[in-house]
Amino acid sequence: MTPSRISDKENGKLQTVILIVESEPAMRVGLRDNLEFNGYDVHVAADATQAREILRRHTPTIVLLSNALPVSQAALISRLLKKNNQRPSVIVMESQEPNYSFFPGADDYLNIPCSITELASRVNKYLGLQKHTLCIG
pLDDT digits (tens, 9 = 90+) for 18-50: 999 999 999 899 999 988 888 889 999 999 999
For residues 17 and 88, the model is more confident at 17
Number of Cβ atoms within 10 Å of the Cβ of 72: 8
- Give the whole-angstrom CA distance, residue 82 versus residue 91: 16
**pLDDT for residue 102:** 65
Number of Cβ atoms within 10 Å of the Cβ of 90: 24
| Rounded average pLDDT over 41-69 | 91
- Give the whole-angstrom CA distance, residue 60 versus residue 20: 10
